[in-house]
A and B are shown apart, each in its own frame.
Chain A
């Protein structure tokens, strides 16, 4: 590469990083600025909006409910998906394409469209099963399916499932023991990744909750925003930071081991392989 071309490339790269860096960082910085504003023109910076989070009656229950939903969804996802994927890999490899297709299907059905079909379901669930907001996790399980499927699939591909399970079975282990004491410990990082991803997706979910008339964290932030902009932005920043930390953990921790096991580098960060369509934006 000639020197002038190298210099041009450096100028180009610096310009791109500066411009796009500003585009992405300024709005986040602006939220911090906005949430620490005092009342009045020359008022000093305050943390009033942040301390007010605890005083808004709707917010605390919404936060707690969203956390519960996140945990329930993550656990239910593991219980439903992992044994199915293990079973299909071991006993019914012919079905693996079908399971993959089903799991990736929610990517082609926009959340806003899917919710239209769910309204009648929830109209039935409400009176017959429970009208608790926690029933939302039924819908969220579908929502997180494509992302968690891909993560778990990569984790399963990285271990020699057949040998492990046959060894365990020949030593007298039942299927429960195989799952809990052989499969799970061997792919703990993939399981952690899938769970964190499910948690992050559920905490950021708005579409289903809003249209099914439940008040989760995002819906509460939305409503508080019309009353007190500062506080709602403070909560938004807090929830964003929380999701940010979760997803950063997910993209930095627990990858090297799987990278070693899979010998081809994927070039894709974390679990977001293509098509990585974020749902419910």
Chain B
């Protein structure tokens, strides 16, 4: 079937090229040097940065997204509010990349609307330096697509919570705290954790937003890969780029497998 041929050529072959290229030199002989070359201070730093901003933006996005999902789910299930929020989230979760970076530059950049508005009122958010183009700025921008994604993936779990469970808790003399601590909390925890992992993988793979916001340097792994691939001074190191790509794929795969396991755990009660 042409489908399998196509997928083999454009999905599996590139993966094989990455895996094989990670272990071969430019001339084609076997080596571990690409993998050991990851152990350079600037690459280790970009890896740590990537893990940190993915984790922070995933946790912030998961908390804010869960609050939003709860606010949505306590409203009318067929209301216009819920329809608009879920549709808008579907759009915004896909809204990344160059446009998103520009939106934040127009908002918080040194000529941005909000920045100028705040400066007029004597508040200089960049008093300690323009952090928008650094790691903390990246976290802020990433939460913009993390929150809607959280809403989309977490809403089904919240929908599975039955009002009867709360009534049952109350009829047994339980308080709001008891309900969240012993009933809703444990039921939602696997889904919440799973969704947080998904958000982590999402931020970890994001490239275009970082590239458009921070064009110089190798501050996160995707930018490091891009620099290794496109370096114009003839210092492009395809082997090292492949080793980094392989590492990214492995990390994302582990995270996604954990996500799938937690989703399965969630569906035991909520569905």
B: interface residue count bin: 35 or more
User: Which residue of the partner chain, among A26, A33, A272, contacts B152 with CB atoms under 8 Å?
Assistant: A272
Docked CA distance A64–B237 (Å):
34
Are A211 and B226 in contact, with the CB atoms below 8 A? yes
**Interface residue? B43 (CB, 8 A):** no
**Interface residue? A81 (CB, 8 A):** yes
Q: Which residues of B contact A16 (CB under 8 A)?
A: 67-68, 70-71
* Given A27-B103, A27-B104, A111-B207, A117:B98 Cβ within 8 A: no
B194-216 to A contact mask, C-beta < 8 Å, 1/0: 01001001101111110110000
**Interface residue? B33 (CB, 8 A):** no
Docked CA distance A222–B100 (Å):
11
Q: Which residues of B contact A80 (CB under 8 A)?
A: 2-3, 6
In the assembled complex, how far is the CB of residue A71 from the closest CB belonging to chain B, in whole angstroms?
18
B93-134 to A contact mask, C-beta < 8 Å, 1/0: 111111110111111000111100000000000000000000
Docked CA distance A207–B152 (Å):
24
User: Which residue of the partner chain, among B64, B96, B152, B208, contacts A269 with CB atoms under 8 Å?
Assistant: B152
**Interface residue? A251 (CB, 8 A):** yes
Which among A27, A111, A142, A272 has the highest number of chain B CB atoms within 10 Å?
A27
**Interface residue? A279 (CB, 8 A):** yes
**Interface residue? B248 (CB, 8 A):** yes
**Interface residue? B153 (CB, 8 A):** yes
User: Which residue of the partner chain, among B4, B246, B259, contacts A275 with CB atoms under 8 Å?
Assistant: B259
B1-20 to A contact mask, C-beta < 8 Å, 1/0: 11110110111011111100
**Cβ-closest chain B residue relative to A279:** B205
**Cβ-closest chain B residue relative to A222:** B98
Docked CA distance A26–B176 (Å):
35
From 16 to 69 in chain A, residues with beta carbon under 8 angstroms from any chain B beta carbon are: 16-17, 20, 23-24, 26-31, 33-35
Docked CA distance A114–B229 (Å):
12
**Interface residue? A13 (CB, 8 A):** yes
Are A106 and B11 in contact, with the CB atoms below 8 A? yes
**Cβ-closest chain A residue relative to B222:** A112
Q: Which residues of B contact A207 (CB under 8 A)?
A: 207-208
Q: Which residues of A contact B218 (CB under 8 A)?
A: none
Stretch at the interface among A165-173, A178-186, A235-243: A235-243
In the assembled complex, how far is the CB of residue A153 from the closest CB belonging to chain B, in whole angstroms?
14
Residues of B within 8 A of A (CB): 1-4, 6-7, 9-11, 13-18, 21, 64, 67-68, 70-71, 74-75, 83, 86-100, 102-107, 111-114, 144-145, 147-149, 152-153, 155-156, 159, 176, 195, 198, 201-202, 204-209, 211-212, 222, 225-226, 229-230, 238, 241-242, 244-246, 248-249, 252-253, 256, 259, 263
Top-4 shortest CB links A-B: A117-B14, A281-B96, A110-B205, A34-B106
